[in-house]
Amino acid sequence: MKQSFVFSGSGGQGIMSAGITLAQTAIVMGKHSTFLPEYGPEQRGGSAKCTVIISDADIISPLPKKCDILVAMNEQAYSKFINDVKEGGTVVVNSSRVNETEREDVKTVSVPVDDVALELGNVKVANTVLIGALIGATGIVSKEAVIASLEEKFKEKSPQIMQLNIAAIEKGITLGKGADK
């Protein structure tokens, strides 16, 4: 089983961080994974995109053109990459920023991750809500494994930050499971 994910949005939305977290979680679970970032030349505010591949076997090429799952954090990213999703694939959209959905041949999972993050108390965890939504919709990694990799990532931060991220993951998973439309 080999699946490819594209995370897209603008710089500062935690796109790269979300991609790395997913890849690391897959590795914690004993799978193979590659993470490939693509940056615009801008340091901040430009477009951000990364490709994550998760596979049970060794990953030969890390450069698929089409992906199984697209995660789009804003409208611009959605329209740029929606046609790269394979037929029958899944699209997780941040419905706080993406209104239109164009394709009928893919499963669209809409979660207002910005609004959810604000309700939780910090817009910075929007990308954690997003990972949760992705996991809820696809079951690609387990909740326990992603929390373990977040604990590793935030080990030097305060327990409050970790608590907030766990809440964000849990909320995301719930919404991701139910948001299938």
Partner 1 sequence: MEKRFMKGCEAIAEAAVRGGCRFFAGYPITPQNEIPEYLSRRLPEVGGAFVQGESEVASINMVYGASATGTRALTSSSGPGISLKAEGISYLASAQLPAVIVNISRGGPGLGSIQPAQSDYLQATKALGHGGFRAMVFAPASLQEAVDLTYNAWEYAERDRGPVVILMDGCLGAIMEEVELPEMKELSYTNTEDWCLARVNGREESHMITPILPELALEMLNKFKGMTYKMWEMSDVKVEEYMLEDAEYVVVAYGIAARVAKEAINTLREQGYKVGMIRPITLYPFPKASLDNLDYSKVKGIIDIEMTIPAQMRDDIELQVKERCPVHEYGRSGGVLLDDEGVYEAIGQIVKGGA
Interface with partner 1 (CB under 8 A):
20, 23-24, 27, 32-38, 41, 59-66
Closer to partner 1 by Cβ: residue 50 or 109: 50
DSSP per-residue codes, 113-173: HHHHHHHHT-GGGHHHHHHHHHHHHH--S-HHHHHHHHHHHTTTS-HHHHHHHHHHHHHHH
Closer to partner 1 by Cβ: residue 40 or 121: 40
Closer to partner 1 by Cβ: residue 20 or 150: 20
Closer to partner 1 by Cβ: residue 86 or 177: 86
The answer to whether the beta carbons of residues 49 and 24 sit under 8 Å apart is no
CA distance 81 to 89: 13
Contacts of 144 (CB under 8 A, 6+ apart): none
State the minimum distance, in angstroms, from the CB of residue 5 to partner 1.
13
CA distance 88 to 160: 39
Which residue type does 126 have?
A
Contacts of 5 (CB under 8 A, 6+ apart): 19, 22, 51, 52, 53, 54, 67, 68, 69, 70, 71, 134, 140
State the minimum distance, in angstroms, from the CB of residue 23 to partner 1.
6
State the minimum distance, in angstroms, from the CB of residue 69 to partner 1.
16
State the minimum distance, in angstroms, from the CB of residue 39 to partner 1.
8
State the minimum distance, in angstroms, from the CB of residue 62 to partner 1.
6
The answer to whether the beta carbons of residues 5 and 22 sit under 8 Å apart is yes
Closer to partner 1 by Cβ: residue 11 or 37: 37
